[in-house]
Structure 1
């Protein structure tokens, strides 16, 4: 690795400290602000966030962009290179650093996590995941493209597109719709992603988890999540008027489009909701615009995502599992997608997916089902006589003797 002046940069000796911060402002037009080590806002990032707000990007999106930019600026502060003087050398070194070194942490390093014995899921590792690195590359390339267009940054984007493609090109540009899409990387330093199969909670594990829930509110929440497929934040943002018990509908604000959508829920979810509301009767405000979900202890406050996450974490601890709230959405999607009477387009509408391709990942079998099917296959192979007898029994049960007589003309006068 070489620095901008031609001397080599020793990444092994580089220390990237936890300098600067991403601060929540509470302002709707600019919910997040990136601060430098002295506590002053970074003007270039502030302008970029304003552009994101004008484009209708949500606060959650701006936060994820801010975290990617904070990692980049911490790297630049460590190598002492101004952001508007960064070159492809810094972008390349940053891509190597974020792939090779551990994430900065205030706590003592724990060993690399292993698959959970109950769920089979691996927890967050010590290094940045490939999805995090890919997201950072996309954000930083967009950030410098915005500054290049406004004339406030370098004339050449430090994060270039893949070699062999034009500077202003995009993946699968001028694609012929009659031909399959080619695998094209949009960024030169963008890592290759391994497709992740969403994990759903098996029915037996879900039943055990549901029994361990400690309140009617928690049972109502989980029942809504697993029957509607709404995201955790979407359900927690509902008001009392959003729950239509008579028609079994609940209205949620979709995360991406920010549109109101009525989503059907199971009858059990509304039963648990009614029990929870009766428990909280007279303790919290019950107006139509008041929150639907509250904390259970005084002083009563609207239930936040972090509080719901802690609730679910406590239940996981009882089972030695590591399911997440988003796994409930995956579970709902798998259940609906594997119902032969439910069209995949209906599943797409319920989940709020913009593309049917996203919904189709839930038509793939889950590992547990594949393992059970293969083991049953081996049992049938090991007992061919039982399989033959089962086939004979099936044939005799499927057709009535008088029907066969009519079909083959036996005994017909």
Structure 2
């Protein structure tokens, strides 16, 4: 098959086969493995994931890369193409398919079992309709541009790795973009620029979405348990990532110093974050209830537990389910990461708090990442523009004041205002 040839594949009607899978293991040297249709470990992917681990990538990143590789493996399996026989025709068709293919619907295991293992397809809302509470568009039927871009980056890196190792095809199916000549920056000199992968889509820049104070109060009031209130109070005050807060142990809260220790996601280092006083109040209320109910107690024990027996350490998915229950009451679609954005925005907009201090609290490697929280949020901009229009309307209704030296009675007579 020529790389420049036209593909005759029916990409519109193609259905991604549900073969293979990405499996989590108990082996710290292999946190995730990719299995093929026969249940065997895919060795090329295993070598690539080992390279990621050697480059200090966390397990969450390895899982994210593995899911993209699983999608690619299933695509090739559907067309009967081996991974090392893939050309730019397959890569181009894959990029085209991701732009038009609906995302697979995943059904909860309880619904699957209640429907005899064959539940009806789940319809996804249109991404063009924003949520009336949050203003965020719901996940649509198609893959988002960010998902497509991430997948292209992963696959290009995967084939680059095997090209350097000499274990893959001699040409990367996912090439870099064609170089474009820029204007000369000096006499006799010119530069070239590359914008990444050729099949990488343009990703719109999105501003971090925070929760306005009034909406946060509604969200907080929709929570039913002191544990959930303590979690939200910490997330919105210290800016920790959702997964980072769940790493705290019972020895880590220091109410007297208003510090809570967490393990950072990227570096894996332990860091004490300053938190609001009310978060420790809710934490103490939750601990008293949990200990009376029989939750494990000890300095080395996890700080956050499930509310029902058998008690288990609280996971990220359980915390997200807690937030989704509150969202269902409000008709909203807030996310756990919105709480981190809210905390970052509140700190960055405080003129008495240095931006470098905010960078340290958030754990950002670069100050430019922290600076995205400095501009006003969308709701503030909307309110400011509304106030501007109101001032303009009020000013237009005010009577004109005559200049000095002119009598008001004379001007009224001249312009017929007395008639």
The alignment's TM-score, normalised by the length of structure 2, stands at 0.85
- Give the equivalent residue in structure 2 for 1:399: none
Structure 2 match to 1:10: 10
Mapping 1:46-57, distance limit 5 Å:
46-57=46-57
Deviation at 1:367, TM superposition (A): 1.2
Q: Which residue of 1 aligns with 2:35?
A: 35
> Closer, same or farther in 2 for the Cα pair 1:281/1:59, shift >3 Å?
same
2:124 to 110, 113, 124: 110
Where does 1:69-88 land on structure 2 (aligned, <5 Å)? 69-88=69-88
Match for residue 414 of structure 2? none
- Separation of aligned partners in 2, 1:243 and 1:327: 23
More moved, 214-223 vs 110-119: 110-119
Q: Assess if the C-alpha contact under 8 Å between 1:240 and 1:289 holds in 2.
A: yes
Shift in Å at residue 243 of structure 1?
Answer: 1.1
Secondary structure of the 1:281 match is helix
1:284 matched to 2:284? The reply is no
Task: Extract unaligned runs of 5+ from structure 2.
Answer: 107-120, 400-419
Matched, 1:131 2:146: yes
Unaligned runs of 5+ in 1: 167-171, 389-413
Q: Which residue of 2 aligns with 1:392?
A: none
Q: Is the 8 A contact 1:17 1:104 kept in 2?
A: no
Mark the CA change 1:387 to 1:50 in structure 2 (over 3 Å): closer, same or farther. farther
- Structure 1 residue 201, shift from structure 2 partner: 0.5
Q: Considering only aligned residues, what root-mean-square deviation do their CA atoms show, in Å? A: 2.5
Is 1:329 the counterpart of 2:356? The answer is no
Q: Secondary structure at the match of 2:176?
A: coil
SS state of the match for residue 28, structure 1? coil
- 1-structure distance, mates of 2:8, 2:62: 35
Q: For the Cα contact (< 8 Å) 2:180–2:193, is it kept in 1?
A: no
Contact 1:2 1:9 (C-alpha < 8 Å) held by counterparts: no
Equivalent residue number for residue 258 of structure 1 = 268
Contact preservation (8 Å) 2:125, 2:138: no
Q: 1:273 to 1:79 in 2, by over 3 A?
A: same
Q: Any idea what the Cα deviations from partners look like across 1:128-147, whole Å, max 9, x if unmatched?
A: 11111111111111111111
1:226 and 1:332 in contact (8 A); partners too: yes
List per-residue Cα deviations over 1:18-57 (Å, max 9, x = no partner): 2211111122121111111111111110111111112221
Paired position in structure 1 for 2:388: 377
Look up the SS of the partner of 1:62 in the other structure: helix
Q: What is residue 20 of structure 2 aligned with on the other side?
A: 20
1:346-393 deviation line (CA, Å, top 9, x unaligned): 1111111111111111112211111111111111111228999xxxxx
Tell me how far 1:284 sits from its aligned partner: 2.2
Runs of 4+ in 1 over 4 A off after TM superposition: 1-7, 181-184, 385-388
What is the alpha-carbon distance in structure 2 between the residues aligned to residue 302 and residue 271 of structure 1? Answer: 21
State the partner residue of 2:325.
Answer: 314
Compare 218-227 and 12-21 and name the one that shifted more. Answer: 12-21
Q: 1:278 to 1:152 in 2, by over 3 A?
A: same
Specify the alignment match of 1:96 in structure 2.
96
Distance 1:301 1:374, change over 3 A: same
**Aligned mates of 2:364, 2:314 — CA distance in 1:** 26
| 2:172 alignment counterpart | 157
Change (3 A) 1:7 1:240: closer
Aligned position for 1:366:
377
Q: Distance in 1 between matches of 2:71 and 2:396?
A: 64
- Displacement after TM superposition at 1:285 (Å): 2.5
How far 1:214 moved relative to its partner?
0.7
User: What is the CA-CA distance between 1:8 and the residue it aligns to?
Assistant: 3.0
2:313 to 295, 299, 302: 302
Task: Report the Cα offset of residue 184 of structure 1.
Answer: 4.3
- Summarize the Cα distance change of 1:4–1:19 in structure 2 as closer, same or farther, 3 Å threshold: farther
Residue-pair matches, total: 377
Q: Within 5 Å, which residues of 2 pair with 1:397-412? A: none
How big is the shift at 1:259? 1.4
Paired with 1:7 and 1:315, the residues of 2 have a C-alpha distance of: 48
Query: In the alignment, is the contact (CA less than 8 A) between 1:347 and 1:359 conserved in 2?
Result: yes
Deviation at 1:258, TM superposition (A): 1.3
Please list the CA deviations of residues 135-178 of structure 1 after superposition, one character each: whole Å capped at 9, or x if unmatched. 11111111111111111111111111111279xxxxx9xx99xx
Cα separation, 2, equivalents of 1:183 and 1:123: 35
Name the TM-score, length of structure 1 as normaliser: 0.86
- For the 8 Å contact 2:17–2:74, the answer to whether it is kept is yes
Residues 312, 325 of structure 1: 8 Å contact kept: yes
Q: Distance in 1 between matches of 2:194 and 2:388?
A: 39
How far the C-alpha of 1:211 sits from its partner, in A, is: 1.4
